[in-house]
Structures are given as structure tokens and as C-alpha cells.
């Protein structure tokens, strides 16, 4: 699928179209991952980057790569106590 987006030239004066497209894909992948719409693998595939680059980007934008609810974390601790 292709999506056409009009972006004023002043926003990306020093970047070519491919650099802009790559940046938009990465930021979209990060947002969709952060909101739970993409898995890590889907986000990497969408942005066409390695898992290492994706994890680095998550770190750079303070996006947690592991999200546990309090209940899930407590359940994990209970499992560990049984070991």
C-alpha cells in the first residue's frame, strides 16, 4: 500500500524524500508498538529495520520494550517463589 502525504518543505529542508519516508515509518512503528497495535517484530518489519535498531530507538524515545501490568508482575513473582 502507498500513502501520499503532503508535507511543507520547511519541515524537512535538509533531508531527501527517502530519509523523510524512513523517519515517518520509524516513528509510526514506534507509536504503534507503544500503543500495543504492533509487536516488536511487526514494528521492525514496518520500519524495515533490525531488532537492534528498533530497541535502540525505543531507548532513545523512552519507550519501554517490556510492559507488565501489576497483576502480571505479581503472577511472575509468585511463579518465581515456587521455584
What would the pLDDT profile of 7-38 be if each residue is shown by its tens digit?
A: 888 888 889 989 999 999 999 999 999 999 99
Q: pTM for this structure?
A: 0.78
d(CA 28, CA 3): 13
Phi, psi of 29, deg, nearest 5? -60, -40
**Do the beta carbons of residue 34 and residue 63 sit within 8 Å?**
yes
d(CA 55, CA 73): 22
Amino acid at each position: 500500500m502507498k500513502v501520499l502525504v503532503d508535507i511543507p518543505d520547511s519541515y524537512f529542508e535538509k533531508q531527501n524524500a527517502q530519509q523523510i519516508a524512513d523517519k515517518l515509518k520509524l516513528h509510526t512503528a514506534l507509536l504503534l508498538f507503544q500503543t500495543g497495535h504492533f509487536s516488536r517484530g511487526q514494528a521492525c518489519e514496518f520500519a524495515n529495520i533490525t531488532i537492534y535498531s528498533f530497541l535502540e530507538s525505543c531507548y532513545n524515545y523512552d519507550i519501554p520494550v517490556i510492559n507488565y501490568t501489576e497483576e502480571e508482575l505479581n503472577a511472575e513473582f509468585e511463579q518465581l517463589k515456587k521455584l
